[in-house]
Amino acid sequence: MFDFLTSTKRPASGTPVLPAAQVIERLNREINAIVDQDDVKRALGGQAISAEASTPEKLRDLIRTDLEKWRAIAAKAGIRAE
């Protein structure tokens, strides 16, 4: 019935305030190093989670794309925020 719908969870880390670019770069580098470890990939895979190292820019673009997609779906279905 709704085969056009797909849902992807996007667990990500963020910061409540915009820190210096060096802090974001360091966090991204450290998190990517953890995600790329074989034991972490196995542990996550055992929970049906596929982790992918990325960049803050790619995450921003994914979030923007998801928001546009779900706004359009909600509008087409007549769903409004309360």
Pick the range with the lowest mean pLDDT from 9-13, 44-48, 56-60, 62-66.
9-13
Higher pLDDT, 16 or 34: 34
**pLDDT tens-digit map of 20-61:** 888 888 899 999 999 999 999 999 999 998 888 899 899 899
Q: Where residue 1 falls among pLDDT bands split at 50, 70, 90?
A: very low
pLDDT at residue 7 tops 60 = no
Structural domain boundaries of the chain? 21-77
CB 67 within 8 A of CB 8: no
* H or E stretch at 71: helix 56-77
Q: How far apart are CA 39 and CA 15, in angstroms?
A: 26
| Residue count of the chain | 82
pTM of the predicted structure, to 2 decimals: 0.60
Q: How far apart are CA 58 and CA 64, in angstroms?
A: 10
